[in-house]
Amino acid sequence: MTSADIRARMAAFGQKLSPYRRYVGPKRLATLAGALAALAHPPFGFLPGLFGYGLLLYVLNGDLGPKPLRRAFAVGFWAGFVYFLISCFWVAEAFLVDAETFGWMAPFAVMILPAMIAFFWGLFGVVYAQFAPKSGVKSLLCFAVWFCGFEMIRGWIFTGFPWNPAGASWMAGSAMSQMAAVVGVYGLSLITVMAFASIAIIKPTQGLKGYRPVMVAAGALSVCFAFGQYRLISTQITPSDTSVRLVQTNIGQEAKWTESEFSRIVRDYVAMTKAKPKYAKWSVQGADYGRRPDIVIWPEGALPASAEELFSASSWTSEVFARLLEPDQTLMMGVYRSDLDKGGNMVWRNTMLVIQQKAHETRIVAAYDKFKLVPFGEFLPFENLLTKIGVKNLVNIGDGFTPGDRTKAMTVDGIQSFLPLICYEGLFPALDQSNYNFGKPDIRPQWIVNISNDAWFGPTSGPVQHLNLSAYRAIEQGLPMVRSTPTGISVVVDPLGRVIPSTKLGVGHKGYIDVMIPKVVKLTIYGNFYVIYVIFISIFSLILLPYNTLLRSVKKTS
């Protein structure tokens, strides 16, 4: 059968489908594109869904009717709405924790959050329809670069919400995910979108030449996969001399604010902290299985009380903490506390405390205050407007939290330098903007501490996706990550983004695990030059705009 025969049969098939075309208009196809792309992410893992980006490009390159900009916005919006509806449906769980107070907001949150984020996709559609050529490699280039540019803006503007960028469709620790060590998750997004959208510019009438974009895309993906496989095979991950214990009590968010439960919660954390060692087999490799862990990590919001209440001399819990640790042992725990801002006003902070037992005395030796706060969860954006219609933030702390300073490496006596990330902060690439290469290699952290409160997500896709997104920070920086949550998923991730065997405490699991922290690997290319990538994509996006505008002007006058 010749190519002409194939084209003839496809044309005949198209004629048979013509009566049904009114059911597959641009908006419906855009909806399908968004759904396919969303299902590519863990835990669904339907990677053929990445062709949804090709479907979206196909729709934008088609006939958008007499009002193309309005239709282009609708196409982008509906694709984004369905994408984030599937990706973020777990947000309803947070409102159902205190259903009596916040339950009425759950349906609105499930619809409003995707709609707000989809606005960025809609704007992208308008920009593409206005400035991009509607066929050829230039259209693919404009589509991929501008789409990823708007995704970067989404992850930054209005505090940012970088949930599920296209590059994170690849499971962290897989061969493809290793490209994040070179170009970051947004660079991987650009490669992914460009490769899978290339099917939209196939021109079968040109024979083999018309399939050239797809062949180049397949070649690029193959090179990325080969690089990733080589990195996974050639990079040796070995344990350091520092041991850490992850404690997961599996206490749901709804139970934390029950006064009768408080003493039981404290007892559970204390019992697991003092329990006999239980090392993951990978960790010790012939070392002493009986050694107590050097560091114990409790998750974000571990105890339903402020630091002032927990450590007050009049509180029974102060005596508990005084006897909790062994000599030279360290506890890292999430807690909320009061503080004074720069204006002298009392505010609340979401904090990671570092507590040590030194010379028979328990002391708080360091504290990190969360920099990136969760909108509606930890603070209320547009507070004056939203409070008038009854909208509240979900935290039970005053008027919400106040952010601290941007995260950076912390050095505490007796333990390796570490980078603290609290929950939501694990989503943000390059949140730590220290330069570890040029002149200051000695300040590079040796591991990432990510405490989180995934109890808000319930048994949904949220914890799986949150872990996947956070693990990309390990790949980008070449650092191991220790992650602790109250209900799962608590794990130790190696510098290549892989979960260390036998260290996973899954959703709904109660227990603890001792692990030797993996050693760092060589500072990644992305860790060296991430600022250059951001500048390059920004400049390249701006160059494409006037270029195509000028090209259109020339064509109109000729």
In terms of Cα–Cα distance, which of 372, 369, 377 is closest to 348? 369
> Using CB atoms within 10 A of its CB, is residue 456 exposed (0-12), middle (13-18) or buried (19+)?
buried
Which candidate in 88, 142, 148, 423 is catalytic? 423
| DSSP H/E element including 318 | helix 316-322
Please say whether the beta carbons of 489 and 457 come within 8 A.
no
Residue 328, CA distances (Å) to 14, 173, 174, 293 in order: 74, 34, 37, 10
- Is 476 considered catalytic here? no
Active-site residue (options: 300, 378, 425, 476): 300
CB-based contact 378:367 (threshold 8 Å): no
* β pairing state of 295-297 and 330-340: parallel
What SS3 state is found at 31?
A: helix
CB atoms within 10 A of CB 319: 10
- DSSP class of 404: -
* Contacts of the segment 24-32: beta carbons below 8 A, 24+ positions apart: 26/59, 26/62, 26/64, 26/71, 26/74, 26/75, 27/74, 27/75, 27/78, 29/55, 29/58, 29/59, 30/56, 30/59, 30/74, 30/75, 30/76, 30/78, 30/79, 31/78, 31/79, 31/81, 31/82
Q: Tell me the C-alpha to C-alpha distance, in Å, between residue 558 and each of 89, 138, 553, 554.
A: 51, 20, 9, 6
Beta carbons of 246 and 492 less than 8 angstroms apart: yes
* Active site annotation includes 142: no
Q: How many angstroms separate the CA atoms of 553 and 558, rounded?
A: 9
Q: Which of 88, 151, 224, 370 is catalytic?
A: 370
Report the DSSP pairing between strands 418-422 and 346-358.
Answer: unpaired
Is 370 part of the annotated catalytic residue set?
A: yes
Catalytic residues, by residue number, are 300, 370, 423
